[in-house]
Structure 1
Amino acid sequence: MIDISEQRAYFYKGGRLAGISPVATGIAGYRTPTGSFRVSEKDIDHRSNLFGHYVDRAGYVRKSSVDVRKDKRPAGTVFRGASMDFFMRVNGAVGMHAGKVTGRPESHGCIRLPWHMAKIFYENSPIGTKVTVRQ
C-alpha cells in the first residue's frame, strides 16, 4: 500500500506487514493516480521513454531533465531515458522503481523507492501483486 500523504510504502506478505519504505510520488501536474492496481509488468533495468537526458555521441549530457513531448532535441544528440531500476508497472506509464527519495513528492507520477528497498520489493512482488495507492 502506498500512502501519498505520508510518502510511505507498506509492504504486506501473507496479510502481515513485512516492511515500510519512504517513497517519492508525483508532483503537481504529474500526480500519482490513486486506486487499486496490480503489478502488470516487471523490468529489472527499465529506462523511461518519456523522461531523461539528451546526450551527444560521446555520452555527455547536453540537456538534462527533459520531457520528450515538450523539449526539443538539440542537433547531434540522442535521448537517453532515465534509469528506473527494479521497475514494476502498476497503472499505464506509472510504476514503482528505484530513484531519488527525499520524503516529498518529486516524480513525474511514478512511485520512487530507495534503491535497496526497490530491490526488495521487486524480488518479493510477482506479477499480479495488488498495489493500493491512497491519498
Structure 2
Amino acid sequence: MNQSPIAALAALAIALVPTSAAAQAVKRGDRAILDVAQTLKPGQFVWAPELTGEGPALVIVNLETQRLVMFRNGVPIAASTISSGAPGHETPTGVFSILQKREEHYSKTYNNAPMPNMQRLTWKGIALHAGKLPGYPASHGCIRLPLQFSKLLFGQTELGMTVVIAHIPIRPQDSGEPLAANPAGPQASFSKASYQWNPPATASYDPLSVVVSAADQKAVVIQDGKEIGSAPVRVNGDLQGGTAYVLKSWDDSGKHWLKLRFSGAGGTMDVGPEELKRFDAPDAFRAALAAAVRPGSVVIVTPESLKAGSAGESTTVLADETAK
C-alpha cells in the first residue's frame, strides 16, 4: 500500500557547511543529545546508549536538518548527520518499518553499488546504509550514514522497528496519551461513528504506527507492515505543522507518552491539560487502540492529506513493491 504525499512542514533548518570531514564520533560531555545534534558537521555522530536501559526504540530522520536521532525508552541516545535523496531522487517522508537487514549488500538498481549495513525501509529502494556524506542531499533516495555509526545503529535495531522520515525539527516533551479521552462539546460527533479494526489472527506484540490526517479527518493503524484499522478522527485547533507521540513505557501508574512537536521557529513545546480534547474519534476505536498499543508505538498527526494526488512531498506509509 502506498499512501500519497504529505506537504513539507514548516521547519527551522540547521545551517550546514559542505565539507569533506572524515566520519567521526563526537564526545557528548554533559550536553544533551539533541543539543549535540545541532553542532555536528558532515560525517560526525554522537552515540550514548548508556543514557537509558533496554526498551523500545524509534528512529527519526529529519530531511530538513539532514540529521538522524535514535530514541530508546523515549530518551535520545544517538544522533548522526545524514545525506538523503538529491533533487529528482527525493527521499519519501512517512512512517516506515525496517523490512530487511544485511551487513553486506549491493544495489540491484544502481550498478551493484555497495550499501554496507543496509536496513531496508521500502521494497522500492529506500534504505538506511553507510555512504558518502558531503553535507547536503546527494543520494538516489536512500539515507546515507557514517560507516561507524551505521554499524552501531545496525546492532541496535530490529526488524519491524519504526522509522519516521520527516521535514521537521524534533524536540521531545512529556505528554498525555493521544486519542485517549473523548472530547466534550458540540463537535464530538465521531464518538459513535463506524470504524475498521482487523487485528491479525495471531496476536502480535509489535508496536503500532498510527497516522492521523487532519485534512482527511482519518486515522490509519499499521502493524507488522499491514493496515489493521482505520477510523474517522477530527483534530481541533492549530497543529502548527504536525505532532508525533511515542509510547515510552507502561506501568501500574498508566501509559507514559513522549511528545515530539513538529513546530517551526519559536514554536512552543508546552503541553496543557486541554491537549486530549483536540481529538474526536469513535469511542470503540479508542478502546481498541488503547488495548493494542505497546511501548514503541507511535502516533503521527499531520495537517496534510494522505489521499493519492494531493500536493506536497512524496509520502509512503506502507510499501511492498519490487525489491531493490
1:44-73: CA deviation from partner (whole Å, max 9, x where unpaired)? 101001113xxxxxxxxxxxxxxxxxxxxx
Matched position secondary structure for 1:47: coil
Q: Which residue of 2 aligns with 1:123?
A: 155
Q: CA deviation at 1:29?
A: 1.2
Matched position secondary structure for 1:122: helix
**Aligned residue identity for 1:110:** C
Matched position secondary structure for 2:89: coil
RMSD: 0.7
Q: Which residue of 2 aligns with 1:68?
A: none
**Aligned residue identity for 1:120:** L
Q: CA deviation at 1:28?
A: 1.1
Provide the C-alpha distance between the structure 2 equivalents of 1:22 and 1:108, rounded to a whole number of angstroms: 17
**Aligned residue identity for 2:74:** G
Alignment partner of 1:91 is 2:91: no
Which structure: greater strand fraction? Answer: 1
Q: CA deviation at 1:15?
A: 1.4
Q: How do residues 1-135 of structure 1 correspond to structure 2 at under 5 angstroms?
A: 1-52=60-111, 81-92=112-123, 93-135=125-167
Q: CA deviation at 1:102?
A: 1.8
Matched position secondary structure for 1:109: coil
Q: CA deviation at 1:39?
A: 0.3
Q: CA deviation at 1:14?
A: 1.7
Q: CA deviation at 1:5?
A: 0.6
Relative contact order higher in (CA < 8 Å, ≥ 6 apart):
1
State the number of aligned residues.
Answer: 107
**Aligned residue identity for 1:43:** R
**Aligned residue identity for 1:129:** M
**Aligned residue identity for 1:117:** F
Matched position secondary structure for 1:84: coil
Report the TM-score when normalising by structure 2.
Answer: 0.33
Unpaired runs of at least 5, structure 2: 1-59, 168-324
Provide the C-alpha distance between the structure 2 equivalents of 1:130 and 1:101, rounded to a whole number of angstroms: 24
Provide the C-alpha distance between the structure 2 equivalents of 1:5 and 1:103, rounded to a whole number of angstroms: 12
Q: Which has the larger radius of gyration?
A: 2
